[in-house]
Amino acid sequence: MDLSPNQVVIDPSALAHNLRQVRRVLGEGVGITAVIKADAYGHGMLRAAKTFQGAGAERLAVAHISEAVTLREKGIHGPVVVLCGVHSQNEAAAVILHDLIPVLSDFGSVDCIGEESQRQGARVRVQLKIDTGMGRLGVPWTETGAFLDKALAQNSLEPEGLVSHLPSADDPDRKFTEAQIRRFTEVLETARSRGVPLEASSLANSAGALWYPEARLGMVRPGIVLYGGLPSPDLKSPISLRPAMTLSARVLQVRRLPGGTPVSYGRTYTTPGERKIAVISAGYSDGLPRALSNRGSVLIRGRKLSIVGRVCMNLVMADVTELKDVEPGDEAVLLGQQGSATITGDEVAESCGTISYEIFCAVGQCGKKRTEHENET
């Protein structure tokens, strides 16, 4: 029995809508690898996998092999790309057993999967990660030829494409990203000269897919836009996105406080006059950022109202003076839609000086843990 006053609800139809919106701007011949790592950015990996496959995604991508194995064990078929690759014999064996596509980021990982696949007499599809400027995983683009030769020398491996990543495609200054695109174009020519198939090659993340048509190639890897968020709160979306996550709570108490009354920890807010304050059943233990103290919003009875005082572990307060009929038990939406009003992940992120990725992951993870605990008890 679910006795919690707080709920995290995911709308699969919004996920499907967002993928179709991405598809609409890509044009013909561009595939979609839907990124569902980190429990689909808090939206539930299995739910997202089924929804995106049903909406036409050609591939799925996760960060780690453990995530991909979970998908297979839950009955998810089709190509699954493992972005963080292979780093041990056990991981290599799991790749082979579950027919996964690892992204190889260094010479050692080529040896690792190559040796295990030869031992088992198996052939493994792989992708090769080239660092064109991210400074994270991958072989420097200047070493592309040697990396390709290393992979092609392993007869049990089937390189199906090259991948790289754009760290600042959401930056108004386009020069760095355009330089990366030129580098990756050279990288692809090097691969083409060696007969490596390029259809599965990808460079564009969400920002690249939407704002850099020349980066789309034959495959894109959108993540955050599939969940209704933007790579940066400052960007304006060229497509119609629908938020998929809702965090709702309940009004526990409504108090009339005289002017000069401090509210919550640290007395960072004091009523400027007589105010009506609602105490709401969610806090930072539910993934609500403490940075929303005195600056965030909540929806009650379809109205957007201000959070006042510090966000607590299990409670948050809002000024509901303008509402005549608010009462205990009313729904309070801290992320998502209520009536015609919406609080988006980007709006929350902008108030906190962060990005919607972090908001979704935190809220989704807290909601998942609460559900697991209730199921156990």
Q: What is the pLDDT of residues 185-241, one digit of tens each?
A: 999 999 999 999 999 999 999 999 999 999 999 999 999 999 999 998 778 889 999
Q: What tokens appear for 371 in the block?
A: 């559900």
DSSP string, 293-356: TTT-EEEETTEEEEEES---SS-EEEE-TT-SS--TT-EEEEEEEETTEEE-HHHHHHHHTS-H
Closest to 321 in 3D by CA, of 335, 339, 308: 308
Q: Enter the DSSP assignment of 228.
A: T
- What's 245-376's CATH class? mainly beta
In whole angstroms, give the CA distance from residue 314 to residue 4. 12
Q: Thinking of the domain 12-227, which architecture would CATH place it in?
A: Alpha-Beta Barrel (3.20)
Per-residue pLDDT, 369: 63
Active-site option among 37, 41, 150, 357 = 37
What lies within 8 Å, CB to CB, of 154 at 6+ separation is 110, 113, 114, 117, 118
Phi-psi region of 68 (alpha: psi -120 to 50; beta: other; left: phi over 0): alpha
Is 129 marked active-site?
no
Domain boundaries, the chain: 12-227, 245-376
- Which contiguous run of DSSP H or E holds residue 32? strand 31-35
Helix axes 89-97, 65-73, angle to 10 degrees: 30
**Is 265 noted as a catalytic residue in this protein?**
yes
Query: Angle formed by the axes of helices 107-120 and 89-97, to 10°?
Result: 60
Sign of the alpha-carbon dihedral angle for 143, 149, 155, 157 = positive
Return the residue matching tokens 């029995």: 1
Pairing of strands 31-35, 219-220: parallel
**Parallel/antiparallel/unpaired status of strands 341-343 and 331-338:** antiparallel
Query: What long-range pairs does 80-87 form, CB within 8 A, spacing at least 24?
Result: 81/33, 81/127, 83/35, 83/37, 84/137, 85/109, 85/129, 85/137, 86/112, 86/113, 87/112
In the predicted model, what is the mean pLDDT of the chain?
95
**What is the reported pLDDT for 376?**
37
| Six token digits for residue 213 | 């048509």
From the list 175, 265, 276, 357, the catalytic residue is 265
pLDDT for 86 equals: 97
Residues 226 and 234: beta-carbon distance below 8 Å: no
**pLDDT in the model for residue 1:** 63
Residues of the chain with pLDDT under 50: 372-377
pLDDT tens digits for 135-153? 999 999 999 999 999 999 9
Q: At what angle do helices 175-193 and 144-152 cross, to 10 degrees?
A: 40
DSSP letter string over 115-178? HHHHHHT--EEEEEEEESS--SSSEEGGGHHHHHHHHHT-TTEEEEEEE---S-TTSS--HHHH
Rounded Cα–Cα distance for residues 281 and 363 (Å):
14
